[in-house]
Amino acid sequence: MNNGSKFIQMITRKFFYSAFILGVTGILGSIFLPGCQYFTSAPPSQSLALNDSGYFEARGLNVMVFSNWYDGSFDDAKISGVEIIHHGVRTVTNGDVRLNPTPGQWDAIPEFVKRTVYKENGRIEAVLEYPRYNFQYTIRGEARDGGIYISVHANLPIPEELDGIAGLNLEFLPSAYFGKSFVANGVTGIFPLYPSSSMETINGETEPKPIASGTRITLAPENPERSITISCPDNRLFLFDGRNKAQNGWFVVRSLLPAGKSGKLVEWFITAQTLKNWTRKPVIAHSQVGYHPAQKKIAVIELDKNDKPEATVQLLKVNNDGSISKALLEKPKPWGAYLRYNYLTFDFSEVKEPGIYQLQYGEILTAPFRIGTDVYQTAWHPTLDVYFPIQMDHVFVREAYRVWHGASHLDDALQAPVNHHHFDLYAQGPETGTKYKSLEHIPGLNVGGWYDAGDFDIRTQTNQAVVMDLVRSQEHFNLSRDETTINQKNRYVEMHVPDGHADILQQIEHGVVQLLAQQKAIGYAVNGIVEAHIYQYRHLGDGVTKTDNLVYNPRLDSLQSDGHTSGTFDDRWAFTNKSTPLNYGSAAALAAASRVLKTYNSQLAEECLAVAQKIWTDEQRHEPDIFVYKGLNTIGGSLDMEVFRAAIELLHATGDSRYKVQIAEMYPEIAKQFGRFASLIAQALPLMDESFKKQVEPQVKTYMEQLAAIEKMNPFGVFISTGGWAGNGGVIQTAITCYLLHQSFPELVDKEYVLRGLNYIYGCHPDSDISFVSAVGTSSKRVAYGNNRADFSFLPGGIVPGILILKPDFPENKEDWPFFWGENEYVVNLGASYIFLVNAVNEIMSE
């Protein structure tokens, strides 16, 4: 998976994330340093002009025409088609031909064919098609007359079955227009905070009625930062509110494509107000958590390319009496251009006195942050204390007066039907692989495990990763924190109520009881357990209300129950394709858990190790079971990686030399992909002899040279991914890898690589200075994609994917719209790796 970023663009959501995490270090060997040491300049003209980056640009306004598209996704991520960045904010997307007035996540999307930029003509064209209807068309964008013309062209009339169905849509971000007005042919209205439009049925589908229509619609005429006008003299424009149909719906302007016509089917003329001489405000990227006195402290100042650098930047100290004193005043150092912005840096490492500080650049003053030896000590507590309990499946979770959720999915699980391709990256092949028939109940799976992300499925590979990261944290740092009552027998969890046991051990227990249950139920690792129906997958709120918690009984009527079973077909499905890599993953997680559970639950520890050894023995006796199905990310990592991982964990658990032999025999091939395996190799080093370390050392030197090259690619000094899932997971994993390598090669691996990764997560990144860990740091993510996302809220201690780079040059993380999963979706294994990284930083700063 060395070409990780290209691979990521082929798929979506959790596949984006897991593919990146598995392959992030593998990209290191193929990165080349671009020339980026000079500031860029804005075009002099205020009219839209086609720039060298392939989009239309004027000061305060960018119009992109399929710079981004659906990336082969199975759903609509609201990053495609005609898009508008208005005064530095992407407010418009998905300008394209769609088959619904307000398309939802799984509604039909076209296939992308090609995109052509005609620089000399100031025109961009994109060809797309709906193969099912044999309908191919072209979207054209052309800047002239003080605006941009967007038109749809087709060589043939639209197919009869698309008459009244296909239309040109343009979607507007609701949070950018809440409380603002609109005018349609002189009729006025206000964009509502909450949807209240009427609904109707069209071709069997419930759709919102338009809230306005006309041949000219202006959005936010009173607000020049957001005002956009669309004119279409030959076709009617309709304005819809898509949030009645889905909480993640947008405001949509739409014109139906006319029947019986070829050539130019519809044309819009779009103009946007811009503020004269608009310049984006600078961002002072820094750690919202603060800094240890002994570490490097470098703030990165992000500037609009029209902005002129200030002469000075200063660090201010907030004194105990409330007065402000100047701690350091210097001229910022030019770094150069990255993406669309120019950058300066300010090194205030010399300031070591503990206290409260703020950074000031021009009129921009940051929120207060601390310098102190203890700044990282508690930064992981919200993740373990709050986020992890919230993600626990099959248990009731209380926090003081609040119930986060009931004991969910106690009716797990039905055998997934054969030859079935699920909508969320699962599939069942031609056989179940088990003794159970399609849709037969598999008993014993309703224990343990964590909700994978913002949704509610148990993804086995994720659960394995969480267990191993938590074990690693416990073994390295001996985390005895006890703030949560966890009673597995009673399925009861209560936050902020200690029960005398280390919470991290109880979380590990919660993970392994699910992994063991799979082995007991079917004899190998389940791919995952996931809801059967899209209406359940879209479920927001308490997971206990997704199913009735009664095992499905096909002999009963749909509303009947005998008290133990019911005729309601709402149980989750277990996907059970045999996968040797996934099974080795369970062996690795169980072997790891056996080591730390000995003092907490010795019987469970013994069972974990026995099952792990059995999996290893069984898998070694036959050819690997490899389930291949396009687009899946639920069947484990690569075979070589999972065998290598399992050998390391079993060697650590048993000391058995056969695992050491396996590691040594695999290493020559593994070494050829050192970046991809670096973290595992680092974990193996303490278990192997000195000759193995000597083999590894040259590869470590090369790896660090590659990291040094990446360090120069942007002013933040980390690899920032450009795929469809933002890169915080990769940043954290690279930092952890550097920590582990630092343990064996302190002279080769500078601990600064560990610190830099954590500082990036805490706010030293593009676009903003926000901490990506909710409730950690002075200013942190308050709007994110958890299971409470419909409330525009957050899960304390959850970590979001972070900055998404929209092609070609726009970094984005929305803080006013939670529904961008590639930017804002919490994923549980990122929480586990974050806990490790914070404690790693605490340790190295105490060296």
Using CA atoms, how far apart are residues 171 and 291, in angstroms rounded to an integer? 42
Question: Is the Cβ–Cβ distance between 304 and 279 less than 8 Å?
Answer: yes
Q: What is the pLDDT of residue 629?
A: 77
Within a 10 A sphere around the Cβ of 655, how many other Cβ atoms? 10
Q: What is the pLDDT of residue 712?
A: 95
Which amino acid is located at 513 in the chain? Answer: V
> What are the residues facing 213 on neighbouring strands?
238
3-state helix, strand and coil shares in percent for the chain, rounded to the nearest 5: 30, 25, 45
**Nearest by Cα to 197 from 266, 124, 252, 117:** 252
778: alpha, beta or left? (left if phi > 0; alpha if psi -120 to 50): alpha
Q: How far apart are the first and last CA of the chain?
A: 36
Helix H or strand E segment including 676: helix 674-684
Classified as helix, coil or strand, 458 is strand
Q: Tell me the chain's radius of gyration from C-alpha atoms.
A: 28
For residue 367 the two structure tokens come to: 């929120």
> What are the residues facing 530 on neighbouring strands?
573
Kindly state the DSSP code that residue 545 receives in the 8-state scheme. Answer: G
Using CA atoms, how far apart are residues 798 and 818, in angstroms rounded to an integer? 13
Phi (first) and psi of residue 335, to 5 degrees: -105, -45
Using CA atoms, how far apart are residues 124 and 115, in angstroms rounded to an integer? 7
Say if residue 131 is preceded by a cis peptide, omega within 30 of 0.
no
For residue 357 the two structure tokens come to: 């500080």
Q: What is the pLDDT of residue 75?
A: 59
- Only one residue has tokens 């005429």, namely 221
The pLDDT averaged over each successive group of 10 residues in the chain (847 residues) is: 35 38 36 38 64 97 94 71 98 97 91 96 97 98 96 98 97 98 98 94 89 98 98 97 95 98 98 96 98 98 97 98 98 98 98 98 98 98 98 98 98 97 92 97 98 95 98 98 98 98 98 98 97 92 95 96 96 97 98 98 98 98 89 82 98 98 97 97 97 97 97 97 94 98 97 98 98 98 96 97 97 97 97 98 94
**Nearest by Cα to 19 from 450, 451, 636, 577:** 636
Question: Is the Cβ–Cβ distance between 589 and 647 less than 8 Å?
Answer: no
Q: What angle do CA 211, 820, 778 make, to 5 degrees?
A: 115
Using CA atoms, how far apart are residues 81 and 102, in angstroms rounded to an integer? 15
Count Cβ neighbours within 10 Å for each residue of 219-246 and write b for 16 or more, e otherwise.
bbbeebbbbbbbbbeebebbbbbbbbbb
Count Cβ neighbours within 10 Å for each residue of 672-704 and write b for 16 or more, e otherwise.
ebbbbbbbbbbbbbebbeeebeeebeebbeebb
For residue 788 the two structure tokens come to: 């409470």
Using CA atoms, how far apart are residues 2 and 644, in angstroms rounded to an integer? 18
Global confidence as pTM = 0.94
